[in-house]
Chains A and B, each alone.
Chain A
C-alpha cells in the first residue's frame, strides 16, 4: 500500500541552526500538508501546498518557515533558525483529490532543538 515517507525520523539540532525536514508524498497525490504536534498536545496545521504554491498557512507558519517541492517527489519543510519551542513532531500529509478527502500522514519527524 502506498505511504507517505518522512526522513529523518529524529533530528537533533542546536538553537539557531537551520533544519530541513523531508517528505515523499504518495506518488499521484497533488495536495501536500505539514502539521506539528508538540509533545502531549494536539496536532496543529502549519501549511498546505498545491500546484507549487502555498494554499493556506496558519499563524504558526511565520517567516522562519518555508516549504518547497524541489522535484517531482520530495516535499520539504525548512526552519531557518530553530528555537527551543520548535521542538515537536512534524507530520507530512498528502491527498489525492480536491474534495474533503482523506489525508494520508507520514510517521513523522521528531525535532529536538537544544
Chain B
C-alpha cells in the first residue's frame, strides 16, 4: 500500500537557519502531495501542495518540489523563525476522493 516516510526528528534550529525536512513516498500512479503543519494544541493546517511531477508548492516562505524520479517532496525554508516551531506532516492522496496517508511527523523547534 501507499506510505510516506519522513526524516526522524526532532529538529532543533536557531532562528534564521535553513530548514530541510525530508519526505519520501511509496505509491503507485501519480499521487498528490501535501505538507501540513500542526501548532501546539491545534489541528492540521495545510501548508502547501503539489499535484504533479516538478510542481513546486510554496507558502509562507516554505517550498517543496514534487520529484517523481526520487519519489520525494522535501520541505525547505531559507530562514526559520521561532513562530515556525510546530510539527510538520507530509501526506499523499493517491485515489480520487481517497484517504490521506500521513508520515510520522517531524517536530521542529526554533530557538531565538
In the bound complex, residues from chain B placing their C-beta under 8 Å from that of A87 are none
Query: What is the size, in residues, of chain B's interface with A at 8 Å between Cβ atoms?
Result: 26
A42 CA to B95 CA, complexed, in Å: 20
Instruction: Report B94 CB to chain A, min CB distance, Å.
Output: 7
A14-22, A48-56, A63-71, A75-83: which lies at the interface: A48-56
Question: Chain A interface (Cβ within 8 Å of chain B)?
Answer: 31, 33, 35, 41-45, 48, 50, 55-56, 58, 91, 93, 95, 97-108
List, sorted by A's number, 25 A–B pairs whose CB atoms are closer than 8 Å. A31-B97, A33-B100, A41-B104, A43-B89, A43-B105, A45-B100, A55-B97, A56-B99, A91-B44, A95-B97, A97-B97, A98-B96, A98-B97, A99-B32, A99-B97, A100-B94, A100-B95, A100-B96, A100-B98, A101-B93, A103-B100, A105-B36, A105-B43, A105-B44, A108-B43
